[in-house]
Chain A
Amino acid sequence: MNISLSINGTTHDLDVDPRTTLLDALRHHLDLTGSKKGCDHGQCGACTVMVNGRRINSCLALAVMHEGDDITTIEGLGSPEAMSPMQEAFVGHDGFQCGYCTPGQIVSATAMLSELKEGWPSHVSDDLVSAPKMSRDEIAERMSGNLCRCSAYPGIVAAIQDTADKETT
């Protein structure tokens, strides 16, 4: 099937089997290998990308279903020369060890902060009606879809907290 996908602001035309996941389209067809394949079943979060500003697992998405959507990958957030604030914070706080889950963590955390800004509650929010407050527990709950097998969680949480603090000041 011939489809066109809008990724990081650029339109790409590609010919894919309908079975191709968005993740495989990115990695195998477009050489955007920042998004990682961990479990391939929506359990680990290493494949997290944003579709129309919302984070999703690209391994549980068909590329053909995302024509016309605005897709952002880790490559679209920043580059080694011009890192996004979240990318910088991950480096600054050592928010990784082996680095395999890191692109997914960063994309997920970036989108998670927008969800928080929009006032979305979480499982650990005491009160559903008022706007949620940022805390370590909120970060842990909202990031539970991203696993880190090196368990670099203290650095990951610190990086996210730091980015959130800088955004609000």
Chain B
Amino acid sequence: MKPFDYLRASAPDDATRADATIIAGGTNLLDLMKLQVMSPDRLVDITRLDLDHIEDHEGGLRIGALVTNSDLAADDRIRRDYPVLSRALLAGASGQLRNKATTGGNLLQRTRCPYFTDTAQPCNKREPGSGCAAIGGQTRLHAILGASEHCIATHPSDMAVAMQALGAEIEIQETTGATRRVSIREFYRLPGDTPHIETVLAPGELITAVILPAPPKGRQVYRKVRDRASYAFALVSVAAIVDVQDGRIAAATLAFGGLAHKPWHDPAVDRALEGAEPTPELFDAAADVLLADAVGQGSNDFKIVLARRTMKAVLAEATGLKEAA
């Protein structure tokens, strides 16, 4: 690890005005600092800020940025009203890591692309303009949607996929002290030719909270497919919120992990399902919409098939088709 100055924030302004890299749980940042993938000169520790509450808010919930992944997953309101989020959190990392990992840090965790963490390899995300070692390399964890010739990495978070399906908003404190809210649907960026810029956050900005809308109607499902039964990142994951009324899908929101540079949400997939009777044929047609532009890189071609199958299985569960069969 390279040397750095350590500062402790006692108010949000200390963090936004410090000209320093924020550290919360540290489970991603310290890992990358040890590998010298990230080498900040200054760290500002935000863990003493009063951002660790989950409060009722506008019919939904306001989750402070420092609420740990464990506390969020175990919260009674989340378990009852937002089970997709609880399930996504519990499918990620380990008990120890979830106790330290925070809501804000989880949203901003970096990709698990093995070339990103290997400083001997070219990587546009780590070192803009150096190239992308993943293209033509081992791409088991890489994207099939929304990738560019500059970067094919995926976003590794499970939590963010559930929040994407829920249409959460991210509350940000700007360096001027003002606050703005950004929908998670507009928060993440595709790699394009600037894969090192991953979100709409400007340098110094602090995530203060995530706001969940009122609990959605219908069933919520999160399914994660991975190389081990526990403690592994997603190859493909699907978060679904589906409301069936009188034998038809009244509303559906699907989000996907492991497929792209951001937790993926395609409104056209939701529209393909809405108003129709749930059948395997309908699910296939919606998967066609999702995967119309999917491109494999070789060793991740299987994800195109896996995404379809996982999506269909989740839809069968969420619409009750599985019980009927």
- A residues sitting closer than 8 Å to B (CB atoms) are 1, 17-19, 21, 40-42, 45, 48, 54-57, 60-62, 64-65, 108, 111-112, 115, 118-123, 125, 128-129, 140-146
Contact = CB atoms under 8 A, between A and B. Distances in A.
7 contacts: A42-B27, A60-B25, A60-B30, A61-B100, A128-B86, A141-B229, A144-B230
Q: How large is the interface on B (under 10, 10 to 19, 20 to 34, 35 or more residues)?
A: 35 or more
B100 A56 contact: yes
A60 B95 contact: no
A38 to B, nearest CB: 13
A62 B27 contact: no
Contacts of B30: 21, 60-62
Contact of B97 (A21, A120, A128, A145): A145
Interface string B35-79: 000000001010100000000000000000000001001100001
Candidate in A61, A141, A145 with the most chain B CB atoms within 10 angstroms: A145
Interface in B229-245: 229-231
Contacts, number: 100
A89 B6 CA distance: 42
Contacts of A122: 90
Interface string B83-96: 10011001101111
Given A121-B74, A145-B94, A19 B99 contact: no
A21 B31 CA distance: 11
Nearest to B117: A41
Given A62-B26, A140-B230, A141-B230, A121 B95 contact: no
B238 to A, nearest CB: 15
What 10 A-B pairs have minimum CB-CB distances, sorted nearest first?
A: A145-B94, A144-B230, A18-B6, A144-B231, A128-B79, A120-B74, A54-B99, A123-B90, A19-B1, A145-B96
B96 A42 contact: yes
A108 B96 contact: yes
Given A54-B70, A108-B95, A123-B91, A18 B231 contact: no
B136 interface: no
Contacts of B83: 128
Contacts of A129: 79-80
A60 B27 contact: yes
A57 B97 CA distance: 7
Interface string B17-28: 000000101110
Contact of A65 (B1, B23, B93, B229): B23
A108 B3 CA distance: 31
B288 to A, nearest CB: 31
B5 interface: yes
